[in-house]
Structures are given as structure tokens and as C-alpha cells.
Structure 1
């Protein structure tokens, strides 16, 4: 059986990101495709920790500051220096007495660990422009393939290296991110040059990489993502969901719009808020998301809320997966007029749950939604405003979008995703 290891850099995050969701889906679907899955973690674990303590830190890498001996501090400094000559990963001890997040076991049968590998590798790349080589210290368990879920300055000479390309927004729409453009460009070029295969999540991202980074077209394979909302929400009687929405959030089903995702410039939330507040719609706009690197939009709508100047905006910082899926399923429409996206996973989740989507007329979102979305020009407030108005007034149009969305979502089914993964991993061995 093929042994596949993916990096756990984003799996260890306490709050969701697009790449974390991608990694979770990749693990679960690879396992469903009869591929033996592994994860490489890089938690900061003192050398003096015993096996149970190491497992506890792996299960909660964001726990309070560690207690360190003088020996720990010395080993940490030496390890950081030795990174330039490569690092090794060991199979981590895990105990069934320790409860891991969202499950009773680690997210894969084999869990590797190399302390601080991701932060040390990024520091090393910034200083030298070179990748860090990693070795897996078990001949019988070492992976056949290492799949890096985003460009990371690490490679493994023992295995096939695959890297996922999500987007190159720092170069395509640079004013919407806070990346160091030069470091980002150099990292992408170096990682993609070393990779045996590059996976793009969309035709849009592939075209960007070919045009702006000069990556050979034949080195990139497009494998669209899939997502599986909680079955408990999909299969739950709609009246029961309606009751939950009313009691938990004091919202009337289908009488609110929903935005969910990070609050940052590329998501275009400031124009979205202006459009919603000045449209002819009287429906509430619910915003679910935490602060990104720029807070302009957040400061704007939070000030309106704080001053009691509007009751048409709700802000929820973070919800459980089930709560969020329930909100999506009962929304009038979800709202994603992003300035640019590499794919648009929230839009796909909305289609799967039968919820209309207000999307920006940008290549990736149009690739995902097809004819199943109400499109707007993301740079034109009046265009977004008109979409809000139409969706709030035209119930028949919303029903058409619901039906079209369910049909469109079948193109991104988990079964098709698993088959594409199986074909990919077979082709590179």
C-alpha cells in the first residue's frame, strides 16, 4: 500500500483556514482511497519531555509556554544551527489515553515529529534561499510520497515530493496580502522547481503560475478540491434546523445573508458591507470570521454595531463546524464577492448545502460555481448592491440557484476527488 505523508503545519491550527481544510480533506479522502496516511508535525517540544508529555503537546501545540532546562535551551540552539545540513523526523509516541482535537486518535495512523521544523525551515530559507532536507528515521515506515499542502521550504530526497499550489495572490493581487513579495516569489519558484509534481486546485491558479512564475504547463496537474459538510446537518430535518437557527442565533431562516471566512482585504468585505447597507434589501448580513492582517473593514462595521447605528449586521467571531454548516444551509444566500480567489471552497460548500451564492465574477469562483451563482463585479459597489437586492426580492431566482448549485456540486464530489488522488499518486511512483 502506498504510504503518503502530508505536512501538519496547518492541521495544528486552532481555528480553521482554507489550507487546514484542504489538508483535512486530503487526509480523509486519501485514506478512503486505500492510501496509508501519515502526518509530519513540527510542534515546539522540549528535549526533556517524556513520551506522554510529547503526545500531549502534539495534541495541543498551542498550550502555555514550556518549562525548559538549560540542556533544552542548548539543544534548541544547536538544532536551529544544524537545520542547514538537514533535519530528521521520528515517529511520535501517541497514547490512546490522550484525546486529540476532533477525534480520539491522531489524524493518521503514523505521526512523525521534527521539533520546530516549519519555523526553522522558513528562517533558513529567508537567510539562504535554500530548502531544508528532511529524513524520516524509520526505513520500514518512511513515506513513498510527501505531499506538501502549500509551498514550504522543505524537501525529502527519500520520497517523491508533491506540492499543492493554491494561488499566487501576493503576485497577482499584491495589495490584498501582506506577504513579502520577493520571498514569496523565490519560495514558490524554488519549491516548484524541486517538486516532482505540482497540484493546482484550479485551472485559474495553474494559468497564473504558468504566466507569472514560468512553471512548465506539463508539470502542473489540476485536481479540484472537494468538501464534505457534516452529515448531521445535511440529513437533519429542515424544520429542526430552522428551530436551531431561531433559538441559537435569533435569526429567521432564509431571511439573512451570510459571509464566512477571514476578514482581510482580498475578501472585499468593506465594499460588501457598503453594498448590503445601501441596498434595497432589509435582510440581516451575518459575518462569521476572525481578524486578518488588515482591520479596516472590521473597524467599520464594528463601529456601526457598537454605536447602535444598524441592526442589519451581525458579527460572530468563530463557530463550530456544525453551527456554521447549519447557518449556511438556512441562509438566503452566502456572499463571496472576493477580489480574487484560488478556488473558493466556501462557495462550493454552499452549493453542496443547497444555498444560493453571491459571488464575484472572477475566474476561480466562476470555475467553481458555473451557472449556479449570482455574479457581481467585486470592484463595483453598485453591482454587489444590485445582487443583494435581487436575491432578497426574487424567491424564484433563489430556488433556481439552489437547484443549479446542487447539480454543479456533483462535479466536485468526494468520489471524483478520491479517484483523481488515486490516479495522481499511482502515476508518480
Structure 2
């Protein structure tokens, strides 16, 4: 079939971009969409619709959440999460209007929509009011750089690790406060965060008595991320909301214990390999961190369980699930 277009504008090193890149590498017979500009631009739905019409598209697939304003061909999008419905601080009137009046109608007409977790699947079914058969979970995977038996980051002090961003739903504020409790008890422990700090988090850290033991890391490659995962006491993800939680799988694949929130998709991803906490309870977060820091046998057991859990997430399997879903649409 000709005219099958993949929206490769999403391809990037992290987040949705990693999903987009890994899936693109495993799909054959698809052309990259001949359109520039950001897929998150306010004008993109109109530009995308024109592009598909001009190029006589037979099917359009986005590894992200964007859709055209209109289309005469089948449209398959990937809705990773519905954070905008739950986090008022991370939405806007324009974003809510886009989801309600552009994306939602298109998703409801689409033969299938992809997502990455069972948690997100149920949210999509409920909010878009569509049949269960219209939503397919394809999951996420672990890139080959993330493995246990390689170099670990040399560090003079034991450290906890966070990978993500500092948007409100990531709950980094609680992590910083919990770490301060841990650091008061253990004078040689550090917190390393792979993120760009928001102004609010920057101010919080500046007022923290242990600010000299909090390090921000920017622009780490996958190789460096893997080294840092392997060297950490544990990776901590205190999010209020996740559609998946890819850093947890990357950490487990590197043999790093994981401590995480007990909300949304996170228990599904971690299974019985990690320790879960109430993200609203700073003392509970700190207690979990101290428990893992104090107990080397626990860390060893978590490492083994984590490796077993991470083995369930393979990009080759994700690619095959995506291929089958798209094939069913193309054949219909």
C-alpha cells in the first residue's frame, strides 16, 4: 500500500521521542510525513490535514497524541497519558479546547488508538467514550544501552537518582524534602537529578540545608544515564501521575533498585520489584529511601527482581504490537 505516513517529527532522545524513534526503526513500508514544524504547534492540526490531503495519504500514524483537523484516511494516534485532565497546573484553555474539539472527535472516529499501559487504556476508554476494542496497549521497551554488567558511575558518596522533569505532576518538591530528611541522618548521601529545575524547585533547593548535596545533571546520553543508574543506591520516582514511567524500567534493566509512587501506571510497571510509597507523604518517601540505603541484602534482592521485571519490556515486542495494530487498520 502506498501513502502510509509516519509522523517522525516526534523522534527525539527521551519521553515520547524515544518511543517514536524505537518504533520507527522497526516499521518498514512507511514514509516519513513530509511536513516540518512541531507536532505540538497550535496550527499543526490544520497543516497536518492539508499535508495528508495533498499527499493522498492512505493511512496516517502518529507515535504521539497529535491528529489532523480532518482526514479522509484512517488516523492512528498514540495517547500516552491524559495528564491534562488531572493536572490543572499543566494545562490551558487552548490545550483543553484542542483535546475536546479536535483530538477527541478524531480519536472517536479512529479504528484504533494506541497507548502504553493498561492504566492509560482504561482512562482513554472512559474519557473518549469508545469501545474497548478501539484501544490497544503496545507498551514501552528498554534500549540496548540499559544493561547491568557495564561501568557504573564512580562516586565518593552513595546517591539517589531521579530522571525526568520538574513539572508539578512529577512531585520533585516532595523528593527534595524527603531527601533532606535522609541527608540529616546520613551525612554522606547525595541526590542527583537528571532534569532542568523549574524556578520554584530552584528556590526550594536554595533554602534546603543540604543543598550542597543536590546535583542537577543536564544533557546525559543513554550511555551516561545507564552508568548513573548502575551507580545509584536507588532510582526514585515520586510522581502523582504517569502514563507509564520509562525511567523505572531503564533503572531496573541496569540493576538499580526502584522506589516509586503507588499511583496510576506505576504499580503496573514496577510489579513486585520495587518499593512503593504514598507520594503525598514525605516521611513515607524518606523512610523508603532510608530502608533501601540501610539494607544491602534488600538492594540485592530488588536488583534481581528488577532485572526480571525489566525483561518484560522489549522494543522488539513493542514494534511487533504496533505493526500488527497498523496492519489490521490498513487491511480493513
Shorter-chain TM band: 0.7 to 0.9
Does 1:258 find its partner at 2:168? Answer: no
2:64 corresponds, among 141, 150, 167, to 150
- Conserved in 2, the CA contact under 8 Å of 1:201 and 1:225? yes
Q: CA RMSD in A?
A: 2.8
- Conserved in 1, the CA contact under 8 Å of 2:3 and 2:31? yes
| Alpha-carbon separation, structure 2, partners of 1:157 and 1:183 | 19
Pair 120,168 (structure 1): closer, same or farther in 2 beyond 3 Å: closer
- Paired position in structure 1 for 2:254: 353
- Paired position in structure 2 for 1:209: 124
Pair 188,285 (structure 1): closer, same or farther in 2 beyond 3 Å: same
1:216-235 → structure 2 map (5 Å cutoff): 216-230=131-145, 234=147
Question: For 1:29-57, what per-residue CA distance to the aligned partner results, in whole angstroms no more than 9, with x for missing partners?
Answer: 33xxxx224322xxxxxxxxxxxxxxxxx
1:233-382 → structure 2 map (5 Å cutoff): 234=147, 238=150, 241-242=151-152, 245-246=153-154, 251-252=155-156, 255-279=158-182, 280-281=185-186, 282-291=188-197, 295-301=199-205, 303-304=206-207, 310-382=211-283
- Paired position in structure 2 for 1:166: 80
| Alpha-carbon separation, structure 2, partners of 1:353 and 1:4 | 37
Deviation at 1:418, TM superposition (A): 2.9
Deviation at 1:3, TM superposition (A): 7.2
SS in structure 2 opposite 1:363? coil
| Alpha-carbon separation, structure 2, partners of 1:122 and 1:137 | 15
Question: For 1:368-395, what per-residue CA distance to the aligned partner results, in whole angstroms no more than 9, with x for missing partners?
Answer: 1100111111111011011110111111
| Alpha-carbon separation, structure 2, partners of 1:353 and 1:362 | 23
Pair 377,309 (structure 1): closer, same or farther in 2 beyond 3 Å: closer
- Conserved in 2, the CA contact under 8 Å of 1:263 and 1:289? yes
Pair 309,252 (structure 1): closer, same or farther in 2 beyond 3 Å: closer
Question: For 1:84-133, what per-residue CA distance to the aligned partner results, in whole angstroms no more than 9, with x for missing partners?
Answer: xxxxxxxxxxxxxxxxxxxxxxxxxxxx23567863634859xxxxx834
Structure 2 length-normalised TM? 0.87
- Paired position in structure 2 for 1:5: 5
SS in structure 1 opposite 2:202? helix
SS in structure 1 opposite 2:81? coil
Deviation at 1:136, TM superposition (A): 6.5
- Conserved in 1, the CA contact under 8 Å of 2:45 and 2:67? no
Gaps of 5+ in 2: none
Deviation at 1:416, TM superposition (A): 2.3
- Paired position in structure 2 for 1:19: 16
Deviation at 1:355, TM superposition (A): 1.1
Does 1:188 find its partner at 2:103? Answer: yes
